[in-house]
Amino acid sequence: MQRDIGKPMFDLLLVIASAAAFAVSTTLPNIEIIGDLSPAFFPKLISALVFVFAVPCLIKDVREWQAADTRNERTISSRGVVQWLLIVALTLGYILIFERLGYIVSTAIFTFSCVIGLLLASGTWHELTSARRVRSLAGAAIFAIVLAVVIFYVFTELFEIPLPA
């Protein structure tokens, strides 16, 4: 059994979130309609059920975590975490520039950064000779531009799906 502190932490988050959701649910306004349950009925019911189910999950996962061998600590690959955060950050950045810079420019920047970013984060970059580095950069740039332009024209012209210009 691998030891992963994230598991009980996520359960704890659910317990807290469901309690908070229940609290917000009680503040929902009500409009009386004959026969109707109030608008707050289901939010309260669902958040209460999540709470009730999440607590035993938390207990079980904490016990498992305590019982698991500490030597078997899940080797969280720092490379994996960096790659994960990189993609999340780049996606967020892509959303922010999506309408501002238009589809083609933002997509080209995003794709280029993804490919080169993963190259850097995975450590492959250091293994490359400087000639290969230039080739990787050029390849990524061509890929990014071609992808952005082709997709833009296919979708706006052929499929008539409007994208930010």
Partner 1 sequence: MISGYLDGLGMVLQFGTLLAIAGGTLLGIIMGALPGLTSAMAVALLLPVTFGMPPVMGIGMMLGALCGAGASGSIPAILLNIPGTPSSVATTFDGFPMAKKGEAGRALGLSIVASFLGGIASMVILSLLAPPIADFALRFGAAEYFSLSVFGLVIIASVAGKSLLKGLIAGLLGFFVSIIGTDPITGVDRFTFGELSLLTGVNLLPALIGLFAVSQVLKDAFEYDPHQRLKDSGHRIDVARPRFLETLKHWRALLVGILSGSIVGPVPGAGGSIASLVAYDQARRFSRHPEKFGTGHAPGIVSVESANNALLGGALIPTLALGIPGEAATAVLLGGLMIQGVTPGPMLFDDQSGIVHGIFLAYLVANIFMLLIMCLGIKLFIRVLMVPRKQLLSAILVLCFIGVYGVDGDVFNLYLMLGFGILGYFLNRYGFGTAPVILGLILGPIAESNLRRGLQAFEGDWTPFFTRPISLTFLVIAAGLLVLTLWQNYRANRVPVQASKEGANP
Partner 2 sequence: MKRLLSTLTIAATMVLGAPAMAADYPTKSVSMVVPFSAGGGNDTFVRALQPLLEKQLGQDLVIRNIAGGGGAVGTSRVAASKPDGYTMLAASNAMLTLEAMGNVAFTHDDFDFIAKVIEEPYVIAVGDNKKYKDLKSLIEASKQGKRLRVGVSGVGSSAHIAAVAMQNRTGADFNIIPYPGGSETISAAMGNHVDAVVLGGSELRSALESGRLTALAMTYAERSDSLPDVPTFQEEGYDLTLTVWRGIAAPKGIPEEVEQQWVKAIKQIVADGSYEKTAENLGTQLAPLYGDELDSFIDQSADVMREAAGDLAK
Which positions touch partner 1 (CB under 8 A)?
6-7, 10-11, 14, 21, 24, 28-31, 33-37, 39, 41-43, 46-47, 49-50, 53-54, 56-57, 80-81, 83-84, 86-88, 91-92, 94-95, 98-99, 107, 110-111, 114-115, 118-119, 122-124, 143, 147-148, 151, 155, 159-164
Q: Is 28 left (phi over 0), alpha (psi -120 to 50) or beta?
A: beta
Q: Amino acid identity of 95?
A: I
Rounded-to-integer distance, Cα 85 and Cα 39, Å: 38
**Shortest Cβ 34–partner 2 spacing (Å):** 7
Number of residues assigned to the chain: 165
Angle at 88 between CA 83 and CA 91, to 5 degrees: 120
Which of partner 2, partner 1, none does residue 157 bind to, with CB < 5 to 8 Å depending on kind?
partner 2
Which of partner 2, partner 1, none does residue 109 bind to, with CB < 5 to 8 Å depending on kind?
none
